[in-house]
Every structure is written in structure tokens, then in C-alpha cells.
């Protein structure tokens, strides 16, 4: 955890769709929750299971270095939610997922994340 002021600073610099090269540092329960990613910030990144391929053997393994995009940042939880940029690590039904749960995603890309979230 970082101080609230640091978290506000980090959030203030983030944009939806912003790309970070990150390293998968932990996959605690492959197929169940997602993977933790070091994106070089003072807070960690996380890719939720719904963003990853259905088969956990297709997930990026610990040590994998690849690009990730900022998908969401919760105001109160110090974690940057990510989506894989590389299609091989992205859920097979991403277009359907976006259409159903976040249809405005394309128009959000580039917008500041500060002030969003519950």
C-alpha cells in the first residue's frame, strides 16, 4: 500500500487504454482469479480472469513480459486493472464482453481514469 497522496498522483497520470510493458509476477490460482503484473508503478497491476483465455494453460506465465492496457482503476483499491494487449493472452470473446459489459470502451480510450469508479 502507498500513501493516499501517492495513489492520487498515480491515478491522476493514468489514461484508459494506456499501454504499459509489464512482467507477470504471480498467478496464484491459474484459471480462477487472474494474474498480478508489475508495470513499474508504485502500485501493482492485475488482470482479472475474465480478461484472460478460458484455458489457464494459455495465460501468460510468471516471468512473461508483454504489453497491458489500463482497463480500470478503482478509486479506493490501490491496483491498476489491466487487459492484455497481445491477443494470445486476451479472452477469446473480448468483443462480445465489451459489447455486453462496457460498450463505451472505444470512446473511453485516452480519457483520464481519475474520478471514475464507485
**How do residues 76-108 score in pLDDT, each as one tens digit?**
888 999 999 999 999 999 999 999 999 999 999
pLDDT at 39: 97
Which CATH number does the domain housing residue 82 bear? 2.40.50.140
Q: Judge whether 29 and 36 are in contact, CB under 8 Å.
A: no
Q: Is residue 53 part of a domain?
A: yes
Q: Is residue 118 part of a domain?
A: no
Host domain of residue 60: 4-98
Q: Is 110 left (phi over 0), alpha (psi -120 to 50) or beta?
A: left
Q: What is the mean pLDDT of the chain?
A: 92
Q: Is residue 42 part of a domain?
A: yes
Q: Is residue 108 part of a domain?
A: no
- Going by the DSSP 8-state scheme, the letter that residue 60 receives in this structure is P
Helix (H) or strand (E) segment spanning residue 48 = strand 44-48
Query: Does residue 117 surpass a pLDDT of 70?
Result: no
Q: Is residue 109 part of a domain?
A: no
Q: Is residue 114 part of a domain?
A: no
* Ramachandran angles phi, psi of 10, nearest 5°: -60, -50
Q: Is residue 104 part of a domain?
A: no
pLDDT at 116: 52
pLDDT at 63: 97
Amino acid at each position: 500500500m502507498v500513501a493516499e497522496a501517492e495513489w492520487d498522483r498515480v491515478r491522476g497520470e493514468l489514461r484508459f487504454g494506456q499501454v504499459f510493458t509489464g512482467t507477470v509476477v504471480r498467478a496464484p490460482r491459474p484459471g480462477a482469479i487472474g494474474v498480478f503484473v508489475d508495470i513499474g508503478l508504485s502500485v501493482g497491476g492485475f488482470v482479472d480472469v475474465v480478461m484472460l483465455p478460458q484455458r489457464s494453460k494459455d495465460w501468460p506465465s510468471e516471468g512473461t513480459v508483454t504489453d497491458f492496457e489500463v482497463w480500470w482503476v478503482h478509486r479506493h483499491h490501490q491496483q491498476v486493472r489491466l487487459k492484455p494487449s497481445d491477443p494470445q493472452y486476451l479472452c477469446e470473446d473480448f468483443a462480445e464482453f465489451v459489447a455486453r459489459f462496457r460498450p463505451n470502451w472505444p470512446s473511453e480510450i485516452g480519457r483520464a481514469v481519475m474520478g471514475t469508479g464507485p
